[in-house]
Amino acid sequence: MQERINRWDLVKIILRSFFLQASWSFQRMQSLGFVFALAPILQKLYTSPEERVRSFLRHLRFFNTHPYFASFILGAVAQMEEKRAQTGRPTEEEIISFKTMTSGPYAAIGDAFFWGALRPFVAALGLTCIVLGGRIAFLGPVVFFIVYNLFHLQVRVMGVIWGYSQEDLAAKKIEQLNLTGLAKIFKQIALPILGGMTALQLNTKDVFLEDHQFILKLCSLILILFFSRLSRQGWSIYWQVAIVGLTSIILAYGL
């Protein structure tokens, strides 16, 4: 009787997916890590030594995507390999083609969301705790770790499950998560926070300015929020620089 993939097999894929980037190849990138994640189910599905070797070799071809979003592909490929072991379909070329078509778009989505938006956002939250000082400063790394992994682990775990449930379900789930919209929101929140923390750290030894540090910090924070608002409304960076330059000239000569 043909073996089938069970829940424990999916757990194995999830755990092994954390080692996707443990070994890189300049020629084939993450292919060895991909095979490592699928190895238990490939050994289970294919009892023939020839078929087993062929299954390993087809996944040793070039593969590169975002390490977290690889879970969606791992789940879908596990389902495709199970079907192939049972019925002979899909073909080897169709499996390889699926990996090729999905790895690029998933890499772009993952990079934009995790590296470009989520990580700066949670770093800003952690930095806020540190800047506020006192006992709350120790919560900075904890906040970063917890908030970041709420998203990271969900994608790692659910990606395999959604991918295995149905090949096109993963793509639908990614669309429903609206990661592009979330990335935009996180960026809009993170930048003012980071700028505000910079303003609050403003310090000077000038006697006059030292007596008015609160006002200086408040004005700096207002300016950061103002230009952040202009950016959200689509103002060009060149216009913003022009505004800063013109305002500086007026204040310099006016005062």
Q: Is the pLDDT of residue 230 over 80?
A: no
* CB-based burial label for 228 (10 Å; 0-12, 13-18, 19+): middle
Instruction: Quote the pLDDT of residue 196.
Output: 64
Report the distance separating Cα 220 and Cα 115, nearest Å: 27
State the pTM of this model: 0.76
Structure tokens belonging to residue 143:
């906040």
**Highest averaged pLDDT of the listed ranges 23-27, 82-86, 136-140, 175-179:** 82-86
The pLDDT tens digits of the residues spanning 39-73 come to 999 999 998 889 999 999 999 999 999 999 999 99
DSSP codes, 197-239: HHHHT-----HHHHTTHHHHHHHHHHHHHHHHHHHHTT--HHH
Which residues fall within 8 angstroms of residue 21, CB to CB, at 6 or more apart?
30, 33, 67
The pLDDT tens digits of the residues spanning 14-43 come to 999 999 998 888 888 999 999 999 999 999
Average model confidence (pLDDT) across the chain: 82
Q: Is the pLDDT of residue 209 over 70?
A: no
Q: Is the pLDDT of residue 12 over 90?
A: yes
- Closest by CA position to 217, among listed 247, 243, 196, 194: 196
